[in-house]
Amino acid sequence: MQLRRIGARGHEKPAVVEGGVTYRLDSLTGDIDGDFLAADGIAHVREKLAAGELPVWEGAESERIGSPIARPAAVICIGQNYAAHAAESGAEPPTTPIIFFKHPNTVVGPQDAVPIPRGAAKVDWEVELGVVIGREAKYLESEQDALDVIAGYVTSHDVSERDFQLEQSGGQWSKGKCAEAFNPVGPDLVPADEVDPQSLRLWSAVNGEGRQDSTTADMVFTVAQLVHHLSQYMVLSPGDLINTGTPQGVALSGRFPYLAAGDVVETGIEGLGTQRSEFVPA
């Protein structure tokens, strides 16, 4: 089962895809957001599907696909969470999670264009496993408790501008992470109980040429460890998005050129869906 939001930007409607068929969720919820997730919305969708009570969305395949979660209250990101990526960045693997934030308004759909910021020279790609929180979490006692508060998983693209991030930031990574549309998400939110978050292949390509190809088994800190750790320092709210880090194969490594207008980046995660983002002038 995959949850989606379909329609023009700012006017998306909730949907669910099951067995290749798209169904409307308008009668069940106004949106796929924190309130929906906190109210056991995923379980209610399953009940309605099983009862055959959801109408088919005719022509859904021709509609724009938005982010599968409405604008989150927070986008929390983890840096250098794959050892090989830390190495290509010139750093040792971290001994505690590196945390930074993206502005929630960076979240866009999986096929939306991404503007290259004015003055940017080092725009980079980063495919990441995204974790969507399903209920409020603070001071979690165990890693199992951490897994229990996760609603589901998404394909997330943590677009970065490396000069803004590293040279113009004064140590604040977020300056290179918050430009317009710098976080394509989706196409689908897949429920947590249908995903093994530590055995997923994730990949990226630029203009059809492979860049990243790895597995979440190579994470320095697992999803459970990250959510547990974060809950000791902040309150996680339903609908919050956690980007869990990217594997090696980014432009920062020096192996590949940075992105320019006209470039197309494709990303994907096994079982969670693929994205296609064209980069355009701001």
Beta bridge partners of 153: 131, 190
Per-residue model confidence (pLDDT) at position 169: 73
Burial class (CB in 10 A: 0-12, 13-18, 19+), 23: buried
Q: Tokens representing 189?
A: 């939110």
Per-residue model confidence (pLDDT) at position 172: 80
Report the amino acid identity of residue 187: P
Q: Report CA-CA distances (Å) from 85 to 151, 187, 212.
A: 27, 25, 10
Per-residue pLDDT of the chain (282 residues; tens, 9 = 90+): 999 999 999 999 999 999 999 999 999 999 999 999 999 999 999 999 999 999 999 999 999 999 999 989 999 999 999 988 877 877 788 999 999 999 999 999 999 999 999 999 999 999 999 999 999 999 999 999 999 999 999 999 999 999 999 988 777 888 999 999 999 999 999 999 999 999 999 999 999 999 999 999 999 999 999 999 999 999 999 999 999 999 999 999 999 999 999 999 999 999 999 999 999 999
Per-residue model confidence (pLDDT) at position 220: 97
- Considering only CA atoms, which of 81, 74, 263 is closest in space to residue 183? 74
pTM over 0.95: yes
Per-residue model confidence (pLDDT) at position 168: 87
Per-residue model confidence (pLDDT) at position 93: 86
Per-residue model confidence (pLDDT) at position 87: 79
